[in-house]
Every structure is written in C-alpha cells, then in structure tokens.
Amino acid sequence: MSLLELKDVRKSFGAIEALRGATFSVDAGAVVGLVGDNGAGKSTLMKTITGVYRPDGGEIRFDGASLAGKDPGDIRKAGIEMIYQDLALARMRDVASNIFLGRELTRSVLGLRLIDAKRMRSEAEAMIAKLGARVKSVTQLAGQLSGGQQQSVAIARALTFNPKLVIMDEPTAALAVREVEHVLELIRTLSAQGIAVILISHRLTDVFAVCDRIVVLRQGAVIADDPTKGTSMNAVVAHIVGATDLPHQAAAR
C-alpha cells in the first residue's frame, strides 16, 4: 500500500475545472517529481492534499486513512508538510516563531497555556544548526532575511516535526546554483531516511537528478506517470506541452 494515494481528485473554481480527476500515488521514501505547465493544476493539487482547498470529488488517503474533511492543521499532524513557493512566512515574527508556527511549544502557568519562547528558540537553533543553514540568529525577523535564508527557515519548519511526506513547491526557483545543490542533497537525505518527497519544479534537470518517478499533470489530469529511468527529458517535455495528445499524428510522422 502506498503512503499517499489520490483517486480521481476533482476541484473546480466556479466554471474553471482546475483538477479533472487526478490519480497517482507516492510510496514511503519515494521522490516523485510533479511537473506540468503553468495552470496545469500542480499547486491546486498540492493545496488540496494539504487541506487548504477541499476537493469536490475523489479520494485522498494518507497512511491508510482518508484525509476527507481534515483541515491543514490536522493534515500536518498526520505527517504531511509542504514548503510553499512563497514560503508562507510571517515577516514580522522571528525565525523561531516561524519554525513553530501553528505548533507553538507551550508551558502551563496557573492553568494557562503560555507560549514557551525560550524552548522554541533553543529548539529552533538546534534545527537550524542540524540543517547547516546560515541563519545568524533565531531572533531575527523573517522579513529581514535573504531569500535563501527564508527558504532555510521554511525547510526547517517542514522538517522539525518528523514528517512522513514533504511537498516542495518550486524550492529551487529563487536560489543560487550552490544553494540548489544543497536542496537537492537534502531531498536525497530525506528519501534515505524514509521520508517521501513530492518535488514540484519547472527545472527538469533538478527533477531528473533526484526523482524516482515523474508525474506529468496537464489540464488538471495526470497524463503520464513513469519511472525516471523509463522516460526521457524529451518525452516529459512532450507530455507537458501536449504534443502527445494526438498519438496517431505523432505516429504518422
């Protein structure tokens, strides 16, 4: 049984059908590349998995249980973390509170559950150190960090609570070459630890470098789902742009 299973997931926004029956699965520890043109439904699909959107139809199962009706907090608790393309950081809060955002550590004072800022700081420091991220202090505000540093914070947040699946939306789009290599290495490390990764990226070289399987989304449906070894850059590009929509024409050429 797969870790994550999507069956015929549908989602519309008004008259626009963003997802018209997406079906695929992700095994534990697998690295799956999710590619597709702009507007193919990648982000919608991921936000449907993380509970930000409610699917109109179909089923999403994670670790054997249905995710129907769960909100983003429940889904994070179940073990799915997502690193959003815009990083989803609170710019006016410090690194430590961003890492623990939604899961603040608390201590009980006179029956009140107060946020334990001290413990959050020390644990955030440990996490940043473990990742080898170059963030000077966990008391810096997220808005004052460079793009790469903000990325490190978003990654640290996703990894702090022992996820089973990490979804990364364009994690390398805004990074320098050296930092890209760092992220790819991290994906390999996660996979080795048995943590599954879904990598959404426009950079096919990155996708081919780390993914075991490549899923192509086109107009809200999965049109290709192949092991990386069994496909090629050309075939994936052809699927993305729709050049394989009419197979008889392709065959005629």
Is 81 or 206 the residue whose CB approaches other proteins more closely? 81
Q: Least distance to other proteins from the beta carbon of 140, Å?
A: 8
User: Measured from the CB of residue 176, what is the shortest distance to other proteins in angstroms?
Assistant: 12
Per CB under 8 A, contacts with other proteins among 138-177 are 140-141, 144-146, 149
Q: Which of 5, 104, 225, 226 forms a contact with other proteins (CB under 8 A)?
A: 104
Residue type, 167: I
By beta-carbon proximity to other proteins, the closer residue of 43 and 191 is: 43
- Comparison of 28 and 52: residue with beta carbon closer to other proteins: 52
What CA–CA distance (Å, rounded) separates 6 from 61? Answer: 7
Residue 61 near other proteins by CB under 8 A? no
Q: Is 84 in the site for other proteins (CB under 8 A)?
A: yes
Measured CA to CA in angstroms, residue 9 lies from 33, 117, 225 at distances of 18, 40, 16
Question: Does position 78 bind other proteins by CB under 8 A?
Answer: no
Considering the complex, state which of residue 117 and residue 204 has its C-beta at the smaller distance from other proteins. Answer: 117
Chain residues 21-50 in contact with other proteins, contact rule CB under 8 A: 50
The DSSP secondary structure of 77-125, one letter per residue, reads: HHTEEEE-TTTT--TTSBHHHHHTTTS--EEEETTEEEE-HHHHHHHHH
Least distance between other proteins and beta carbon 72 (Å):
5
Phi, psi for 236 (deg, rounded to 5)? -65, -45
Whose Cβ is closer to other proteins: residue 41's or residue 236's? 41
Q: Report CA-CA distances (Å) from 244 to 96, 164, 170, 229, 235.
A: 48, 34, 25, 19, 9
Written as six digits, the tokens of 113 are 């559950």
118 binds other proteins (CB under 8 A): no
The answer to whether 86 touches 142, Cβ cutoff 8 Å, is no
In terms of CB distance, is 32 or 153 closer to other proteins?
153
| Burial group, residue 108, by CB count within 10 angstroms (0-12, 13-18, 19+) | exposed
Compute the chain's Rg from CA coordinates.
19
Among 114, 176, 241, 243, binds other proteins (CB under 8 A): 114
CB 1 within 8 A of CB 166: no
Per CB under 8 A, residues contacting other proteins are 50, 52, 71-77, 82, 84, 86, 88-93, 97, 101-104, 106, 112-115, 134, 136, 140-141, 144-146, 149
